[in-house]
Amino acid sequence: MAMEGTTFTRLVERLAAAGRVIALDEGVQQLKEGRLAGHKVAITFDDGYIDNYTLARDVLQRVGVHASFFVPVTPIDKQLPYWWDHLFEVLKSEAVALFKWALQQPNPQPLQHALETAAVATNEPVGERCRRLVQALNNLGQRERHAFTEGLVGEFGSVRGDRLLMTWDEIRQMQKDGFAIGSHSVSHIPLTDLDFRTAKNEIVASSRLLRERLGQWPTGFCFPRGAFTADHSSLVREAGYDYAVTTCFGGNDAQADPFSLKRRNMSDYQGVRSRFPVAMHLFELSGCLDKFLAARRAG
């Protein structure tokens, strides 16, 4: 989710007033028991960003609704900003220098094409240009993506500015407040970029490490970048989790697999829809646009 604070607040208020928000753990339990009925919404956050604590927590507590927060262990331990945040920062402040450097690198053709397209799209918002590059980088293998992002650090330095991620003290407070804390792996590397043994360790070890840091075993797992296979779903089940969430678009009915639950990425709209953001989000959550949106995402 990347949503303006006012829009998020109004959307949560509307959902709560309609009685549609349910704790994810409760929703999964109802799904397993065949009791899940109606259009319910479980609110989830990935990656452990600081605004989960400084903004979302306050809104959720005031309105009185539950949410689940999936955090990766090592980025929180070391307060390591994600590479896409670094890319956004450089693109926002040094776009000309970024493209001059990046276009001279030995990039795979899909990334080179994305860079060339973004370089001339100077009228687009920074977020849109960055999203195009992030998508291209995500489609690369781990080695190629790592080479580019490490080169970015070498050329432009590390991320500067305010802290981006929560601390364990803040996450523990979230847990005390009644919010669920789930695993987002150890390293946040997509499991499909790893061999089977390493992927298994990401799933199993993150559960143990969260238990050590928070005093509770996590019940849910979130696949980093939404990348997974049926084998990874099985590993999550075998590791003792109750469910896993993906970034596959859509809702979940009685036939849904608890270890590959779909979600909806609720981000700020562009264009005419940005004039009516809450109404548009509620319309999307109704499921009326599912066929259209699923086809667009598949394309």
Q: Which two tokens stand for residue 282?
A: 């509620």
> With 60 as the cut, is the pLDDT of residue 299 above it?
no
What pLDDT, in 10s, does the model give residues 96-113?
999 999 999 999 999 999
**What does the pLDDT average to over 252-258?**
92
- Confidence at residue 37, expressed as pLDDT on a 0 to 100 scale: 82
> With 70 as the cut, is the pLDDT of residue 143 above it?
yes
281-284: Cβ within 8 A, 24+ apart: 281/7, 281/11, 282/11, 282/14, 282/15
Confidence of residue 289 (pLDDT cuts 50, 70, 90): confident
Which CATH number is associated with domain 5-79+165-298? 3.20.20.370
Laid out side by side, the sheet with 68-71 consists of 44-46, 68-71, 180-183, 220-222, 243-249, 261-263
Among candidate residues 132, 125, 91, the one with its CA nearest the CA of residue 110: 132
- Confidence at residue 271, expressed as pLDDT on a 0 to 100 scale: 64
What pLDDT, in 10s, does the model give residues 44-71?
999 999 999 999 999 999 999 999 999 9
Among candidate residues 293, 299, 295, the one with its CA nearest the CA of residue 273: 293
What pLDDT, in 10s, does the model give residues 160-206?
888 999 999 999 999 999 999 999 999 999 999 999 999 999 999 99
- Domain regions of the chain by residue span: 5-79+165-298, 83-156
> Mean pLDDT across the chain, nearest whole number?
92
> What's the whole-model pTM score?
0.92
Instruction: Give the count of beta carbons closer than 10 Å to the beta carbon of residue 10.
Output: 16
Higher pLDDT among residues 133 and 292, named by residue:
133
Residue 173 neighbours by CB under 8 Å, 6+ apart = 53
What pLDDT, in 10s, does the model give residues 6-46?
989 999 999 999 888 999 999 999 999 988 888 899 999 99
